[in-house]
């Protein structure tokens, strides 16, 4: 990287316009606040304390195919930059020629009419160089460098996105696993209630309507078990794709959502300091710089192109005298081409370069606006999730007491099964909602961490 930056500093002046970073099209501060830790300084192993999640992130960073493609794109654009940079120096080539030719009349008496073989040998070095007075080659080299640096930041952005995707998918998988556990427990309870009601019906204490109601509730619970099992398995499959390989059998055991440890004390900071550190924003700015350099190349097309060519060689008719004195040959030529009429192609090319820069400016500003919204949304959500979680926990506790009381009253014959059915459905829904809410809260912390530029460092 240092060598590439050094090369960029040696490129010199061009006809490209002086680059000015566009002002941030967002507010001066994020809504909300709180927190004291800088997300970008917190390694993902410190942010996410679950050993199983840490192992999954490490596997994904090593095996994910999308991240691998992003890394290969970096190597591709680096090679393309080196190709373009090579045009800044002369091209030198070797020359070796051996020739034999014969000619003359088929018959005749004079010596001049006899076939005269002609042999000559040439050995030398040629060199060519474009005298880049108006910076066309230098502008194209700057453009190639900025495109390379853009893909470097694109790889970093893909790295951060992958860490966030693994965390989100892992939490989703854990949510379905815990909801499946609740569904299994509910299925057991409804089956027991059905068996009890069926026995009471046989004893003449319950009606057939109660039996069918409890049976329907049990069958519904059985269906819910299968639904959540399918969603859990599909969540595992999605996690496997992100990780890039089947999940190893020796992974640490998963932790329940209530035991997940994530840093919540993340500071939003100032937008101009936070957003400009995000790799997707830096990537967009390098793309803008590349478009700016392309304008210089388009402007240079209006000026003469000067090429220098030289040849130093030795020429003789006998190979053994190839390096004898008097056989040297030196040629030097200069070619100047000036566009006179191009049918408006150069003007159109310059107009296109300006439009491409305007497009890059809009994309850069949109990237910043998107980043600002991601941070703002995550901050607002962080402030509400804690209160919402406390209320949901209290609701589950109240629904549990209600269900226990209604079930006891039903066994005593005081209440109908409709009371039990309603209480059980409400409890089941509240339990699933609590699990989803816990996963959403943890996902929000992970989103805030990524939106603030965290996830690149491991420690």
Q: Are strands 118-131 and 305-316 parallel, antiparallel or unpaired?
A: antiparallel
Phi, psi of 330 (to 5 degrees): -135, 125
- Do 84 and 140 meet the contact criterion of CB atoms below 8 Å apart? yes
User: CA nearest 166: which of 43, 255, 52?
Assistant: 52
- Do 252 and 52 meet the contact criterion of CB atoms below 8 Å apart? yes
Q: What is the pTM of this model?
A: 0.85
State the first-to-last Cα distance of the chain, in angstroms, to the nearest integer. 23
Strand partners, 126: 93, 311
Q: Identify the pLDDT of residue 322.
A: 64
Token digits for 126?
Answer: 């040629």
For residues 448 and 39, what is the distance between their CA atoms, to the nearest angstrom? 8
Q: Cα 38 from chain centroid?
A: 22
Question: In the sheet that 91-101 helps form, which strands lie side by side, from edge to edge?
Answer: 91-101, 118-131, 305-316, 328-337
Domain ranges, ordered by start, for the chain: 2-89+134-306+348-451
Token digits for 49?
Answer: 């304390």
Interior/surface letters 188-222, b for 16+ CB within 10 angstroms, e for the rest: ebbbebbeebbebbeeeebeeebbebbbebbebbb
CA torsion 33→39→41→47, rounded to 10°?
A: 130
Strand partners, 127: 92, 310
- Do 281 and 275 meet the contact criterion of CB atoms below 8 Å apart? yes
- pLDDT per residue rounded down to tens, the chain (459 residues): 444 444 444 445 679 999 999 999 999 899 876 788 999 899 999 999 999 999 999 999 999 999 999 999 999 999 999 999 999 999 999 888 877 765 554 444 455 554 545 677 788 898 998 888 899 999 999 999 999 999 999 999 999 999 999 999 999 999 999 999 999 999 999 999 899 889 988 888 888 888 998 899 999 999 999 999 999 999 999 999 999 999 999 999 999 999 999 999 999 989 988 999 899 999 999 999 999 999 999 999 999 988 899 888 787 766 666 666 666 778 888 888 888 888 899 999 999 999 999 999 999 999 999 999 999 999 999 989 999 999 999 999 999 999 999 988 887 878 888 888 899 999 999 999 999 999 999 999 999 999 999 999 999
| CATH T-level topology, domain 2-89+134-306+348-451 | Outer membrane efflux proteins (OEP) (1.20.1600)
Helices 345-411 + 417-451 axis angle, to 10: 150
Query: CB neighbours of 259 closer than 8 A, spacing ≥ 6?
Result: none
- Do 265 and 35 meet the contact criterion of CB atoms below 8 Å apart? yes
Query: CB neighbours of 331 closer than 8 A, spacing ≥ 6?
Result: 309, 310, 311
Q: Identify the pLDDT of residue 320.
A: 63
CA distances from 259 to 48, 254, 256 (A): 11, 10, 5
For residues 252 and 326, what is the distance between their CA atoms, to the nearest angstrom? 82
For residues 197 and 407, what is the distance between their CA atoms, to the nearest angstrom? 12
Query: CB neighbours of 6 closer than 8 A, spacing ≥ 6?
Result: none
Token digits for 371?
Answer: 């980043």
């Amino acid at each position: 990287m240092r060598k590439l930056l050094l090369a960029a500093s040696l490129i010199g002046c061009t006809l490209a316009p002086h680059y000015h970073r566009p002002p941030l099209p967002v507010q001066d501060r994020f809504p909300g606040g709180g927190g004291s830790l800088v997300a970008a300084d917190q390694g993902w192993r410190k942010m996410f304390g679950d050993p199983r999640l840490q192992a999954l992130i490490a596997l994904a960073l090593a095996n994910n195919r999308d991240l691998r493609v992003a890394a290969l794109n970096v190597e591709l654009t680096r090679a393309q930059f080196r190709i373009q940079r090579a045009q800044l120096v002369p091209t030198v080539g070797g020359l070796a020629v051996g020739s034999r030719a014969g000619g003359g009349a088929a018959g005749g008496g004079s010596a001049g009419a006899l076939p005269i073989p002609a042999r000559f040998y040439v050995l030398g070095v040629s060199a060519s160089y474009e005298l880049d007075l108006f910076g066309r080659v230098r502008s194209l080299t700057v453009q190639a460098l900025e495109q390379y640096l853009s893909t470097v930041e694109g790889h970093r952005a893909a790295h951060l996105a992958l860490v966030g995707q693994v965390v989100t998918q892992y939490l989703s998988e854990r949510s379905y696993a815990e909801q499946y556990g609740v569904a299994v427990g509910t299925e057991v309870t409804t089956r027991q209630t059905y068996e009890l009601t069926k026995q009471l019906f046989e004893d003449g204490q319950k009606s057939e309507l109660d039996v069918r109601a409890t049976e329907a509730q049990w069958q519904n619970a059985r269906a819910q078990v299968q639904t959540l099992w399918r969603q859990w398995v599909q969540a595992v499959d999605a996690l496997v794709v992100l990780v890039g390989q089947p999940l190893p059998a020796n992974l640490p055991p998963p932790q329940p959502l209530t035991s997940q440890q994530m840093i919540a004390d993340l500071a939003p900071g100032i937008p101009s300091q936070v957003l400009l550190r995000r790799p997707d924003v830096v990537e967009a700015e390098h793309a803008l710089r590349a478009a700016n350099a392309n304008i210089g190349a388009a402007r240079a097309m209006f000026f003469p192109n000067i090429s220098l060519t030289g040849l130093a060689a030795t020429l003789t008719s006998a190979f053994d005298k190839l390096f004898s004195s008097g056989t040297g040959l030196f040629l030097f030529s200069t070619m100047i081409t000036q566009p006179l009429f191009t049918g408006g192609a150069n003007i159109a090319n310059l107009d296109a370069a300006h439009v491409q820069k305007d497009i890059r400016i809009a994309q850069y500003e949109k990237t910043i606006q998107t980043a600002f919204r991601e941070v703002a949304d995550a901050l607002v959500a962080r402030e509400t999730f804690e209160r919402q979680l406390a209320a949901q926990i209290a609701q589950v506790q109240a629904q549990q007491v209600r269900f226990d009381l209604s079930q006891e009253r039903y066994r005593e014959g005081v209440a109908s099964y409709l009371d039990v059915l309603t209480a059980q459905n409400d409890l089941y829904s509240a339990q699933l909602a609590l699990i989803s809410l816990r996963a959403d809260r943890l996902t929000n912390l992970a989103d805030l961490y990524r939106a603030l530029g965290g996830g690149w460092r491991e420690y």
